[in-house]
């Protein structure tokens, strides 16, 4: 990566947008470095698509500034921003062949036909569709259409590639295949990419950093591993990965009493008063079966057992509102059956809590 290219970055500063009285985005800031792939993750209506559309110039922002390569592009129309976009719905022009679709951005730039054709063939090669250059969009599968849309977006050598849930209309197997292809191409072309999705597995598997959004605000942005292991808010802890919510009580001295154990409260956890009833947020892999029923474990009944290949998930009834899930290797789980009594222990050294 050249040093000049390394300077290019996206700065979104304090963006806000309202739909009537509803705030879709509030004081949202994000910085992206060159060649970085950032995903925005969050529930429906959290504002992630709004960010992408504002960056692409398809929707205006009511407050804040947008900088690309250090240049303020806040008021610039979308056709002057040089950003490639892949949409959730299939968006190829139906009257054009695959090759013509890929060439479109170059055609509007009045690039010579030979150069256009050469570039489109290179990109179709990249998405493994060079043999379908003369096909029309309706002759392609959904996955193929999205690959062509990706090639079309990349043809203009965009400053930023915007992916608006491009895999959500595809079936599970194709989705995995295409997301890996997107990441490969993104790394190959070193294109700064903003990827919006509601699928956390998708976001975690392909991104350099993942931003979790809630109610128009960015709750946390970090690498997938940090996000999963060190969530900064209870929302992130609950939203990313599977989290058990187990009734607990604040024990003073910065500890929480849960499943008959006393565990340190996470530094990121909200402040709580002694004796306050809360919900401890515990990942399934941070629970284990105790060897014996003692005062530092909690007994329960195995209600469900789901085989997940190398892992098996047990659902244990501890007498709380919801089942508590625990992951263990399928080898270990062989001796456990539904209906067995087991004792659960928490293995993590600190816990985050949410309101009870």
Partner 1 sequence: MVNTQESATRKSGGFSSIFKVIPLVPFSLIFLFFFCWPIFQILKNSLDQGKGHYGLSAYRLMFTKPYMHAFATSLQLSFFSALTAGVIGAVIAFYVHRSSSGLKSTMAMLSGVLANSGGVPLAFMFIAAFGAQGGIVTLLKKVGIDIYSSGFTLYSLTGLILVYSFFQIPLMVLVFTPALEGMRNEWREANNSLGGSNLQFTRWVLIPVLFPAFLASILLLFASAFSAFATARALTGGSVGLVPLVIGSLIDGNVITDQANLGDALAVGMIFVSAVVMVFYGFSLRWARGR
* Residues at the contact surface with partner 1, assessed by CB under 8 A: 56-58, 77-85, 87, 89-91, 93-96, 104-105, 107-109, 136, 138, 149, 152-153, 156, 162
In the bound state with partner 1, the residue whose beta carbon lies nearer, of 148 and 279, is 148
In the bound state with partner 1, the residue whose beta carbon lies nearer, of 100 and 249, is 100
In the complex, the smallest distance separating the C-beta of residue 138 from partner 1, rounded to whole angstroms, is 7
In the complex, the smallest distance separating the C-beta of residue 238 from partner 1, rounded to whole angstroms, is 33
Q: Give the Cβ contact number of residue 330 at 10 Å.
A: 12
In the bound state with partner 1, the residue whose beta carbon lies nearer, of 42 and 158, is 158
- Where b means 16+ CB within 10 Å and e means fewer, 205-215 reads ebbbbbbbbbe
Q: Are 185 and 128 in contact (CB under 8 A)?
A: no
> What is the SS3 assignment for 23?
strand
In the bound state with partner 1, the residue whose beta carbon lies nearer, of 48 and 81, is 81
Q: Are 99 and 134 in contact (CB under 8 A)?
A: yes
In the complex, the smallest distance separating the C-beta of residue 10 from partner 1, rounded to whole angstroms, is 15
Task: Report the distance separating Cα 12 and Cα 22, nearest Å.
Answer: 21
In the bound state with partner 1, the residue whose beta carbon lies nearer, of 159 and 298, is 159
In the bound state with partner 1, the residue whose beta carbon lies nearer, of 106 and 227, is 106
In the complex, the smallest distance separating the C-beta of residue 282 from partner 1, rounded to whole angstroms, is 42
In the complex, the smallest distance separating the C-beta of residue 264 from partner 1, rounded to whole angstroms, is 49
In the complex, the smallest distance separating the C-beta of residue 150 from partner 1, rounded to whole angstroms, is 12
Virtual torsion, Cα 330, 331, 335, 338, nearest 10 deg: 0
Determine the distance from the C-alpha atom of residue 131 to the mean position of all C-alpha atoms in its chain, rounded to a whole number. Answer: 32
In the bound state with partner 1, the residue whose beta carbon lies nearer, of 6 and 108, is 108
Tell which residue, 354, 326, 352, has the closest CA to residue 264.
352
Long-range contacts of 333-337 (CB under 8 A, 24+ apart): 333/305, 333/307, 336/289, 336/302, 336/305, 337/302, 337/305
Per the DSSP assignment, residues forming a β-bridge with 194 are 38, 162
Write out the DSSP string of 268-312: TSPP--TT-EEEEEE-GGGEEE-SS--TTSEEEEEEEEEEETTEE
In the complex, the smallest distance separating the C-beta of residue 105 from partner 1, rounded to whole angstroms, is 4
């Amino acid at each position: 990566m050249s040093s000049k290219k390394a300077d290019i970055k996206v700065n979104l500063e304090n963006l806000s947008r309202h739909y009537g009285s509803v705030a879709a985005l509030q004081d949202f800031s994000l910085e992206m470095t060159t060649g970085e792939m950032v995903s925005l993750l969050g529930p429906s209506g959290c504002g992630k698509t709004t960010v992408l559309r504002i960056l692409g110039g398809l929707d205006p922002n009511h407050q804040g500034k947008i900088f690309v390569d250090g240049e303020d592009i806040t008021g610039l129309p979308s056709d002057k921003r040089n950003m490639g976009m892949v949409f959730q719905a299939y968006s190829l022009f139906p009257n054009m062949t695959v090759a013509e679709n890929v060439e479109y951005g170059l055609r509007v730039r009045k690039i010579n036909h030979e150069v256009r054709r050469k570039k489109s063939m290179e990109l179709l090669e990249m998405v493994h569709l060079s043999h379908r250059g003369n096909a029309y969009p309706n002759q392609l599968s959904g996955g193929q259409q999205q690959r062509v849309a990706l090639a079309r977006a990349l043809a203009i050598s965009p400053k930023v590639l915007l992916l608006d849930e491009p895999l959500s209309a595809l079936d599970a197997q194709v989705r995995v295949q295409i997301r890996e292809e997107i990441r490969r191409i993104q790394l190959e072309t070193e294109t700064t990419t903003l990827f919006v999705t509601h699928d956390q597995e998708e976001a975690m598997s392909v991104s350099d950093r993942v931003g979790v959004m809630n109610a128009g605000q960015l709750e946390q942005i970090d690498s997938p591993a940090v996000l999963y292991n060190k969530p900064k808010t209870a929302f992130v802890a609950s939203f990313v990965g599977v989290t058990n919510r187990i009734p607990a009580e604040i024990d003073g001295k910065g500890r929480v009493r849960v499943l008959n154990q006393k565990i340190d409260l996470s530094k990121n956890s909200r402040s709580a008063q002694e004796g306050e009833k809360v919900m401890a947020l515990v990942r399934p892999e941070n629970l284990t079966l105790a060897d014996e029923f003692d005062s530092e474990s909690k007994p329960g009944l195995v209600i469900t057992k789901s085989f997940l290949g190398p892992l098996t998930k047990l659902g244990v009834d501890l007498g709380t509102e919801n089942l508590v899930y625990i992951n263990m290797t399928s080898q270990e789980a062989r001796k456990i059956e539904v209906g067995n009594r087991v004792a659960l222990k928490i293995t993590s050294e600190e816990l985050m809590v949410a309101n009870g």
